[in-house]
Amino acid sequence: MTDQNNKHDTHSPLNAAVQHPIVRLSDVCKTYEQGKVRVNAVHDVSLDIQHGDFAALCGPSGSGKTSLLNLIGGLDVSSSGTVIVDGIDLATIDGSELSEVRKNRIGFVFQSYNLIPVMTAYENAAFVLNLQGVDETECRDRVMATLKAVGLEGLEKRRPDEMSGGQQQRVAIARAIVTEPAIVLADEPTANVDSHTAESLLDLMEQLNRQQGVTFLFSTHDQHVMDRARRIIQMHDGKVASDHAQAG
């Protein structure tokens, strides 16, 4: 695996402009075969995600949002086209290298049931750092700082079933950002919480984006959530229907 992008450089706002985009999709297709029916879940998508983006992937149900996020996140492989994440062409690497890319360069937040039930908030947030083999003290410092940043100070010892849905999503966000990934991919992160909680989660994501430079790409079909994004990528039938910036 090539590692031409030193993490700190990618994360430094000064260098962002001269770096490659964090994600570059060129003519990406994903076709599912269901019996005799072929579904073009993602159809000829080309787009770049730049460092510092706070982008929403929008579109009706079945338009290909999850499929696209899975391709970018290295959870699935494209049928054709290239997916380059943090300088790595995902088509050229094998399964265990994909696993490494996910561990080291991507943060994931899912719609629900993100956390491991037998682990505390602290342990969940530290999960990926442990997989990376980060030593105890450094791990502790980073996790505590991150939990504080996502507003969970004092709740470190709570298990998922002792936390609200919003708190659980905050733990998931903490787990995603504590490794300082190139990008955080969030598939409908607010779909399972009430609108008030959704607002505060977006506040948090926005704050992490502005203050710590975390790049976010999240999917949604909620208009309120869309309104908060600074870039809207609209999908329809697997294609990008529109892609434009908006005031955050």
Partner 1 sequence: MNLNRLAWRNLWRRKRRTMITGFSVAFGVMLAVTFTGAGDYFYTRMIDAGASMGMGHVTIEAVDYHRAPSLKKRLQHVESLREKALQLPQVSDVMTRITGQAMFASASKSVGGMFIAVDPAQENSENNLFIRSIIEGSMLSSPEGRNIIVGSKLAQKLHLRMGKKVVYTTTDVHGEIVSAIARVSGIFETGISEVDGAMAMLPIHSVQKVLGYQVDEATLLGIILKDQRFSKSMRDKLAAMPLYSKAEVLSWQQSQPELAGMIAVDKSSNYISQLLIGLLVAAGILNTMLMSVLERTREFGVMMAVGMAPGALFRLIMLESFWLAVIGLIAGIIITIPWYIYMANTGIDLSGAYGDDFNFAGVLLDPVMKIRLFQESIVAILLGLFTLALAAGAYPAWRAGRIPPVESLKTI
Ligand X SMILES: Nc1ncnc2c1ncn2[C@@H]1O[C@H](COP(=O)(O)OP(=O)(O)OP(=O)(O)O)[C@@H](O)[C@H]1O
Nearest of 172, 200, 199, 203 to residue 186 by alpha carbon:
172
Measure Cα distances from 126 to 42, 52, 143, 181, 214 in Å.
Answer: 33, 24, 6, 14, 18
* Contact partner, 113, from ligand X, Mg ion, partner 1, none, Cβ < 5-8 Å per class: partner 1
Report in angstroms how near the CB of residue 151 gets to ligand X at its nearest. Answer: 28
| E-state strands within 1-141 | 23-34, 37-49, 54-58, 80-85, 88-89, 106-109
* Contact partner, 4, from Mg ion, ligand X, partner 1, none, Cβ < 5-8 Å per class: none
Q: Residues 159-198: x/- map of binding to partner 1 (CB under 8 A)?
A: ----------------xx----------------------
Work out the end-to-end distance of the chain between its first and last CA atoms, rounded to an integer number of angstroms.
36
What SS3 class is residue 178? coil
Q: Which residue has the tokens 């300082």?
A: 180
Which residue of 59, 73, 166, 189 would you call a contact of ligand X, by CB under 6 A? 59
Neighbours of 246 (CB within 10 A): 12
Listed in sequence order, the residues at least 6 apart from 18 whose beta carbon sits closer than 8 Å to its beta carbon are none
209 sits near ligand X (criterion: CB under 6 A): no
* Contact partner, 86, from ligand X, Mg ion, partner 1, none, Cβ < 5-8 Å per class: none
* Amino acid (one-letter) located at 164: S
Nearer to partner 1, 118 or 241 (CB): 118
Nearer to ligand X, 178 or 185 (CB): 185
Interface positions, 74-113, toward partner 1 (CB under 8 A): 75-76, 96, 99-100, 102-104, 108, 110, 112-113
Binding site for ligand X (CB under 6 A): 32, 34, 39, 41, 59, 61-67, 221
Positions in the binding site for partner 1 (CB under 8 A): 70, 73, 75-76, 96, 99-100, 102-104, 108, 110, 112-119, 123, 126-128, 130-132, 175-176
